[in-house]
Structure 1
Amino acid sequence: MAGPRVVIIGAGVVGASLADELSSRGWTEVTVVDQGPLPATGGSTSHAPGLVFQTNSSKTMTELARYTVEKFRSLDVDGQPCFLQVGGLEVATTPERLAELHRRHGWLASWGIEARVIGPDECVELHPLVARERVLGGLLVPTDGLAKGVLAVEAQLRAARARGVRTLGRHEVRDIRTEDGRVTAVVTDQGEVPADLVVCCAGIWGPKVARMVGMDLPLTPLGHQLAWTGPVPALAGQDREAVRPILRHQDGDLYYRDRFDRLGIGYYGHRPMPVDVDDILSVDAADEMPSVMRFTPDDFAEAWTETQSLLPATKETEVEEGINGLFSFTTDGLPLLGESPDVKGFWVAEAVWVTHSAGVGRAMAEWLVDGHCSSFDLHECDVNRFEPHQLAPEYVLARDCQNFVEVYDILHPLQPAGAPRPLRTSPFHARQQELGAFFLEATGWERPQWYAANEPLVEGRDIPVPNDWAARYWSPVVGAEAQATRETVAMYDMTALKRLEVTGRGAAAFLQRMTTANVDKSVGSVTYTLLLDHDGGIRSDVTVARLGRDHYQIGANGNLDLDWFTRHLPEDGSAQVRDLTAGTCCIGLWGPKAREVLQPLADKDFSNQGLKYFRAQRAHIGAVPVTAMRLSYVGELGWELYTTADMGLKLWDTLWEAGQGSGIVAAGRGAFNSLRLEKGYRSFGTDMTCEHDPYEAGLGFAVKMDKGDFIGRAALERRAADVTRRLTCLTIDDPRSVVMGKEPVYDGDRPVGYVTSAAYGYTIGKGIAYAWLPAELATTGRTLRLGYFDQRIPAVVAEEPLFDPSMQRLRG
């Protein structure tokens, strides 16, 4: 089968990879268009230095890079290899960076990439130009290396052409035609190309192409300095392009690669150099190529000084040439993949560097041909992940520039983004400031992590201090707030939780089709359920509250849930979905004294019989109308109380005043995370993703196979009998050994899994880590070890939940 008519805009390394992968799957009605000459079209691929370091805190990005390495190793053009597997070496010149290299080694062990941390002598042995006295150690990844971007383009386009793919160089895209909200053709300066699907792989021109269909693409082209030395005497006679590992000196914002007897030097330490996409020159107007700007030596001066210090042999040469080359940056440093939310058939594969290009080509091909990607979890790369404010030009420019500055920084998992802040504040923000809230950010919301006003609660409590890394963005107040929640009553700001409304005569049938549980229940029911992809993988976990016969409220995880619901709405208009989040707010009132605070204020019965667990009702709390749902992610009696944004401050004040005699406290996200892990509550995107199914994740209870058909049901039937891994609870006795997530789990010396969520359990008095493990190792009482920097921390598989397994506190 030839497949639909596909037009790929952009013949760089991403477009070429996609053409190859699509045609290898039988889709051959594919046309690749580019404004430049093939295979060196003048985009970022044409000048990219080609260094492929696979190390990344993101499992998905590492796996995309691993596939790129594997594929490029198999490619050549007339005997010229497309990949030089010389290895990758990152060196540390400070103790902080050496510790970071151990952490990075942990990621690689977690994701299954061979690597090791080595001493300074071995660093010099591998790369003799390195000054021994400067380095403290290094991280060696033997499978890293140099990708030959233009050769990889040619190799993949040749393979695609052999299968019938058409390639059109020197065709500038002028417009994209649409009809009834669907693409129909790509208009070039040499005529129209009919299309059923259009995939934008235009790189730095991506925002310009996306605008043709009214799509805002949060991408900024930024200049990045790349210089080449003259001949280095110490390299005289080197007859191969590269013999030493590619080298990264992140303390100096620098990287290096061989080019025979010269060195290439890349530098991220200069000022950000953003370029408006409309100011990028055309292929014919550019002196060298459109993606290359004039080199600015003053910006490179510090880099050259540092280079001569780290690599003393360079003192015998000079910088011979350089460019400020344009690359794509995004607000969170991740690619932009997926289909436009508004124009059917218009897809993007943008902000993808050579490192991940072949992996993205495969991922997009699977997504287009099969309707989902089975090889990679793409939720964090989905172009529809952004909130509306995250598409604002001011926001995009500020965050993209920040990501350029931070590209080699040591970043803590909880480290908040910089300006612009604050962006979104709940109605409670003023009161939280008065209580000394320490704010972190959640999808733009200022969310308290703990409150300085609770410092007196710490006195007399056993709140262990974790290790230095875990103690960042932490306070002993976190422990006091967690314990106080279990003892009395606490208020949590849950406004950052995304809230959707589904209405219409077909709402129940629509949600039955979308979710794994039975949500066609009585008015007032609240149901925990899952959204699955067509292959049975988990797309999200949500709560669905039926507030009326044709009216549901959904507690969702983010904009991808809204996008998923919207794409599957019935064509007859019998159901509608809208985002309620900005106009509403939520307080979680939880703890054994929660009813003592709430009932005297309410005009409805909040007794155990009046509102049972996982039920909802509308009520007034004082003068405030609320929707109250009896559920709790901290494992205590209580309710989520929703109201409109204009009434939010009044709700806070009403509860706060009423709770003074009951010892009420405001509590932050630090306590929340500890408490939820004591109860074993999962978090989508951290504990489970699209690559996992409900049975592996311990969420089989949320699947009701007897309710009829739902998305993913058929695939789930096949997966149910083959559970080879499990999300498993581990406990840690040493109170200082609090891990942060993404650490490898070892059985002896063999890495067997990785940590998802972790925290200290202030009720149970132990560290908690959830981890993916082979099913045969997920046996209660088994001792494993967690790789934490250069340590191996003992951890024991525990039966979950760790707290209140009988659910008496929740149901009381």
Structure 2
Amino acid sequence: MTTPLRDRTRARVVIIGAGIVGCSLADELTARGWREVTVLDQGPLPAPGGSTSHAPGLVFQTGPSKTMTEFAAYTVRKLGSLDVDGLPCFHPVGGLEIATTEARWADLHRKAGLAASWGVRGELLDAQQCKKLWPLLDEGKVLGGLHTPDDGLARALPACRAQMARAEGRGARFLGRHTVTGIERAAGVVTGVVTDHGVFPADHVVSAAGFWGPVIGSLAGVDVPLLPLAHQYATTAPLPELAGLNDPREEASRPILRHQDRDLYFREHVDRIGIGSYAHRPLPVDPFTVPAYDDAPVMPSSLPFTAEDFAPSWRDSVGLLPALGGSRVADGFNGVFSFTPDGMPVLGESRTLRGFWLAEAVWVTHSAGVAKAVAEWMSDGRPATDVHECDLTRFEDAQRSPAYIAERGAQSFVEVYDVIHPLQPLEQPRPLRTSPFYPRQQELGAAFLEAGGWERPHWYEANAPLAEGLDLPERDAWSARYWSPIAAAEAAVTRERVALYDMTPLRRLEVTGPGALDFLQRMTTNQLAKKPGAVTYTLLLDETGGIRSDLTVARLAPDHFQLGANSPADLDWLLRHAPENVHVRDITPGTCCIGVWGPLARALVQPLTRDDFSHDAFGYFRAKRTHIGHVPVTALRLSYVGELGWELYTTADLGLRLWDTLWAAGQEHGVVAAGRSAFNSLRLEKGYRAWGHDMTTEHDPYEAGLGFAVRPAKGDFLGRAALAGRSEETATRKLTCLTLDDPAANVLGKEPVLRDGVPVGYVTSAAYGYTLGRCIAYAWLPATAAVPGTAVHLDYFGQRFAATVAQEPLFDPKMTRIRR
């Protein structure tokens, strides 16, 4: 995975695409010692005709993704340090998002919190302050705005020129008018790039081809899950109100203006205004039919303007900026750029074709940050920024069909400026993946949300009578979305009786073969050399000690292990490292799982099996193959909710029978089906971490409170050397448990944590703890603030909620309820 430093001067890299990403990557690689770097593009340089050549250059840093914010922040810093012909490549005019509806105004308060969490300067303004920044605004239509003074305009083509010059100064070469026609490979490794001007031998090939990514991917036999779509951009005639205002060389002086309630943005072009619109119908483009540069009327990425699509946006623009009423659209085009099913980039090295990398679906906003991450990945084996949200392995097989990519890519375009709730599920295509229990869940009135294509019950309307009379604090409109008081009732039944949880979406991997134990010992942190029947919680680390994932590993036989994992990336990681005598496969689609948890779990399960399920015979963190009624199961004595119980696994064909068997037997014990909403509350009461939310590759086990899962004495394992000298005592930051002081207060995650009024961290996971009667939040804080009893505040939609650092776990710290 890692290219040693001594090889960088000899390793041959070919980057396909000389847009902003390709040029940035060549600069980043050569700055790290790579010398044999060639950048190819089918168009003329420095404006080869891709998305970069028409990009309006908006850079807004703030969003719900910490990763994307860090990419944008680096882009601002880097481009701000570059200049061409005496002009900087980034113009910090700032950004102004305005609200014309109450829902948007509330969302801007949330975004102000996100900005504080990620370290971006931002300030909420009233309508008068907004008009002062943008005098053309109709003040009467504006409720307020969010001003981010460090955002601004990237001059994309000059930025390409500046980075090309730096990379060329270190030995890189840029070749325009070179059309890629093939990718050469041998034994699963890339060996070269074929063009209409000959073959370029390569040890690494990076596809930074933008909306042509699927075309390049097809030449390599690697699917690239993105959809090119056209986006409308128009420029007005000269406006008298702007005459003499702006320096023609700088073009703009006022902030970029976003009117997201109408899917619009505005920027100045000297005495004109540019208007971008996402309000029109999706306009997909087939990348395989895009004309070559010389065959395109303007350039390949610039399609004819469809005035009828823009007409509603023009009316909305005039409504917000009345001065436009005396003007007109002077120029316009439909510009092509890339969307993925989840709106995020596609980054990383293909496992099926080693040495072939993707840096696709990247906008100018994040270009330099993405390039830095990919260069670090190629140079050091990992990026410094966690990129699991962007990793090319993140999509499930069910999410890679052309139909899915087309449907979800188009929806990503529609949702660019939508207010998206963190729990908001996809609308289509659903249902895509269902567990065998789905018919029974429908009968019980399950409220389904979606993740990874799976239909996941969050609560069941059949349990509504149990929620009657519960004394719960009233929720605000935001935290009440995708929530029901029924979740509190389901949590209570889990604590008091017994509940069934559908755990089928939990990823299951099987590792077998004569080298299975040695392989897993090398890959994970905990001691797995235990007798068959043992279950162990352990971690996957990268070379620097960052947490790639957490696993539960059940040793079912000497050479047979079942792993509870998190994402497709875990399978990819293990397959990359597995020796020939080890077989790793994903068994999730053909299996299912029910969690049976609660004080009466043993009373429910024991009569259904001839095996002894007593604590002495079947202890905590043990596994057993048995039968539940007529159904063969693999039973794991685990509990993510802090109660007695088992995870029961069987094949998908027998899943419905397993559910019905448990359901019938549970009636005398008051069993209910419970959903993910109750599950999340219960797991936070126990302090159980969720990878990807609470910890990522940016954190080590000791910082995350998972040092108990690290056993350096067992021998070498991936990341062990990097952890030498580290401990919980040396950690300078910690994942910290907070409880909100006001029992009526709620937060959902990603809120800034303030100490003495200054942001010092951010919330990772949060949920109302129904057993405790208050909201629980986990947050990353400096170690000096992670001391039990420390008072902090959480900023939630502009409100300051007092919270206190708590000793964890909050519930059953002696584990008496699980071990009984």
Please, what TM-score do these two structures have when normalized by structure 1?
0.99
1:811 aligns with 819
Aligned to 1:186: 193
Q: Does 1:715 align with 2:747?
A: no
Residues 353-395 of structure 1 show CA distances to partners (whole Å, capped at 9, x for unaligned) of 0000000111011100111112x11111100111101110010
Q: Which residue of 1 is the match for residue 803 of structure 2? A: 795
Match of 1:282 among 278, 292, 296: 292
Q: Residue 453 of structure 1 aligns with which residue?
A: 462
Note the 1:254-653 alignment, pairs <5 A.
254-374=264-384, 376-570=385-579, 573-653=580-660
Sequence identity percentage: 63
Question: In the aligned structure 2, how far is the partner of 1:134 from the partner of 1:244?
Answer: 19
Q: Can you list the C-alpha shifts for 1:455-509, whole angstroms capped at 9, x where unaligned?
A: 1111233233322211111111000000110000000000000000000000000
Q: Distance in 1 between matches of 2:376 and 2:730?
A: 23
Local SS of the residue matching 2:660: helix
Code of the residue aligned with 2:175 in structure 1: it is: L
Please say if residues 506 and 575 of structure 1, whose CA atoms lie closer than 8 Å, have aligned partners that are also in contact: yes
Q: Is the 8 A contact 2:246 2:253 kept in 1?
A: no
In structure 2, distance between residues paired with 1:211 and 1:584: 32
**SS of residue in 2 equivalent to 1:379:** coil
- The root-mean-square deviation of aligned C-alpha atoms, in Å, is 0.8
Equivalent-residue separation in structure 2 for 1:502 and 1:54 (angstroms): 42
Contact between 1:341 and 1:384, CA under 8 Å: does it hold in 2? no
In the alignment, is the contact (CA less than 8 A) between 2:467 and 2:485 conserved in 1?
yes
1:12 equivalent in structure 2: 19
**Residue pair 1:43, 1:289 contacting (<8 A) in 2 also:** yes
The aligned residue for residue 28 of structure 1 is 35
Question: Which stretch has the larger CA shift, 710-719 or 669-678?
Answer: 710-719
Alignment partner of 2:752 out of 739, 744, 748: 744
How far does residue 719 in structure 1 lie from its aligned partner after superposition? 4.2
Q: Which residue of 1 aligns with 2:3?
A: none
Kept in 2, the 8 Å contact 1:235–1:262? The answer is yes
**CA shift at 1:239, angstroms?**
3.8
Mean CA deviation greater in 573-582 or 307-316? 307-316
- The runs of 5 or more residues in structure 1 that have no matched partner are none
Q: How far did 1:722 drift?
A: 3.8
Q: CA deviation at 1:328?
A: 0.3
The answer (yes or no) to whether the contact 1:465–1:735 under 8 Å persists in 2 is no
Instruction: Work out the CA distance in 2 between the residues paired with 1:559 and 1:3.
Output: 33
Q: CA deviation at 1:718?
A: 4.6
**Distance in 1 between residues matched to 2:335 and 2:779, nearest whole Å:** 41
Partners of 1:733 and 1:793 lie apart in 2 by 8
Distance in 2 (alpha carbons) for counterparts of 1:79 and 1:71:
16
TM-score, structure 2 as length reference: 0.98
CA distance in 2, matches of 1:276, 1:134: 39
Note the alpha carbon deviations across 1:732-788, whole angstroms, 9 max, x for none: 133332101000001121001000100111111111011111100011111110000
In the alignment, the residues of structure 2 paired with residue 265 and residue 567 of structure 1 have an alpha-carbon distance, to the nearest angstrom, of 46
Distance 2:769 2:143 in 1: 36
Partners of 2:745 and 2:774 within 8 A in 1:
no
Paired position in structure 2 for 1:252: 262
1:8/1:30 contact within 8 Å kept: yes
**CA shift for structure 1 position 253:** 0.3
Distance in 2 between residues matched to 1:620 and 1:805, nearest whole Å:
32
2:56 is paired with a residue whose SS is coil
* DSSP-derived class of the 1:612 partner: coil
In structure 1, give the amino acid aligned to 2:691.
F
Contact 1:331-1:399 at 8 Å conserved across structures: yes
> Among 745, 769, 782, which residue is 2:790 paired with?
782
2:771 matched residue in structure 1: 763
> Aligned AA for 1:321?
D
Instruction: Supply the distance in 1 between the matched residues of 2:224 and 2:29 (Cα, whole angstroms).
Output: 24
Residue identity opposite 1:66 in structure 2:
A
Contact 1:502 1:552 in 2 (8 A): yes
Tell me the CA shift for residue 565 of structure 1: 0.3
Show the counterpart of 2:702. 695
CA distance in 2, matches of 1:574, 1:196: 27
What secondary structure is seen at the aligned counterpart in 2 of 1:212?
helix
CA distance in structure 2 between the partners assigned to 1:378 and 1:68 by the alignment? 16
Match of 1:23, SS state, is helix
Corresponding letter in the other structure for 1:797 = V
Tell me how far apart the structure 2 counterparts of residues 789 and 724 of structure 1 sit (CA, whole Å). 29
Alignment check: 8 A CA contact 1:466 1:735 kept: no
Describe the superposition over 1:395-418 as per-residue Cα deviations: whole angstroms up to 9, x where unpaired.
001101111001101111100011
Give the Cα–Cα distance (whole angstroms) in 2 for the partners of residues 532 and 714 of structure 1: 11
Corresponding position: 1:93 with 2:103: no
